[in-house]
Structure 1
Amino acid sequence: MSLLIANSLTKTYNNSGWFRKHSPAGKGVKDLSFVLEQGACLGILGESGAGKSTLGKIVLGLLPPDSGNITFNGIDLYQSDRKARKQWRRDIQVVFQDSYSAMNPRMSIRDIIAEPLRNYERLSALEEQKKVAELLETMGLSPQEMTKRPKQMSGGQLQRVNIARAIALKPKLIVLDEPVSSLDMVIQKQILIHLKQLKEQSGISYLFISHDSMAVHYLADQIAFMKNGEFVQLAGGSYHAHDLLG
């Protein structure tokens, strides 16, 4: 069974305001269909306003489509009961572009990474500390970083923390919404290599939303190009790591 199946997704944003009320409504996404298999990465490329973020919100269960449906592990995201929603919310995680705003600046790095563990698992303090240390090491960070606050870390380090939090519950799917676009090229390369290793070692799937063609080609198995809310072309990925820096 395929992990994620989108069938004819359509989401329309209605114009509002006095001067725009007679204008035709803009399309968020229009009649989008795709299948994402376990352990694969689907890259979504497109310019701003193409509908990429709208699609990401639909996949995350945050924005119901006007028509069409989307299933995850055979469960319709917008027709599921409370028990099913709790499970797929555990199995679908997200990494956003702005690493700093995605976390509470008052929390320690340990608390940030441990937050999903506390929501879904019952670990002792020692077990939690060990788990957080392992997640930091997986992302190339020292366990000693767990005592820091976000303002004490660089943007690249914070994005690694966000990824560590996203993988804490061993999800089946992570939506990557422009995860490296605000970072310099060297840090981009390091994080993309970590993401690819995680995918290969754990069988995790990604929906990689970006306007960065090189990054998407490196990580994605298949790429969909979006324009005006529609897929206009499909292609394969598979760049090598050294291609990221030319």
Structure 2
Amino acid sequence: MATLKVKTDSLNLRRSPEIKDGNIITSLPLAQTVEVVDGNPANRFWEVKTIVNGSTLKGFVSAAFLRQFVSSAKEALISAAVKEWLRFERGNKLEFEDPQYKYVGEYWSKIGLNLDGKDRDQPWSAAFISFVARAAGYNDFKFAPAHSTYVYDAVKKRKSNVTTAPFWGFKITEHKPQLGDLVCRWRENPITSIDSLPSGGFKSHCDIVVEIRDSEVRTLGGNVNHSVSITAYPLNSSGFLRPASNVYGVLRNNF
């Protein structure tokens, strides 16, 4: 029996392979692992079993919203980001609420800063990426309170052909975003390309790719709408990021 992942943010687990009132057992979150019991390609709904809150559940899900596993390191990064998304109740809880502000404090503490979500003039999106990368075991990642630190490193490591680096920086016309990559966009001062980064640091934001659709990729990031939230970035017909939403580059996950 195949083991697959949920590839959308909410997938209904049903008692029977049909849509009707009272048929939903629960909603499975993004990156939930399911084991296929009966996966006939001719059927819309597949029978699966999965573990939710320590209990094994069995039911039917739409096969269109399941995906194959990627590398264990990429799955670890995605799962670590999803764990935080769920702690923020799928983006419905805000950074200054209790206990969510304490989670922001955890992100800061891992890079040696005594801040939390009540310090609302302190953007914490890079602290979030650093926290998630550390939780996923990316020990060579440049943990920092600013995105520019690890973006510089990803560009440098690609130019030096350091194949052990967790990420390499690419222009949006060079690499099609994949699961576990980082999509980066500028803040305040425009950046035309990842090949023309300003020196001395810059304001930026990056999100982790957690879902790929035909016309967009969906990402998870911290300090997005004052929470851990999903953002969609449009793709062109060839699968590359469109130059929209201030996007200047993509960091390819080498793991």
Q: Report the TM-score, using the length of structure 1 for normalisation.
A: 0.33
Q: Report the TM-score, using the length of structure 2 for normalisation.
A: 0.32
Higher RCO (Cα < 8 Å, 6 or more apart): 1
Q: Report which of the two has the higher share of helix.
A: 1
Q: Report which of the two has the higher share of strand.
A: 2
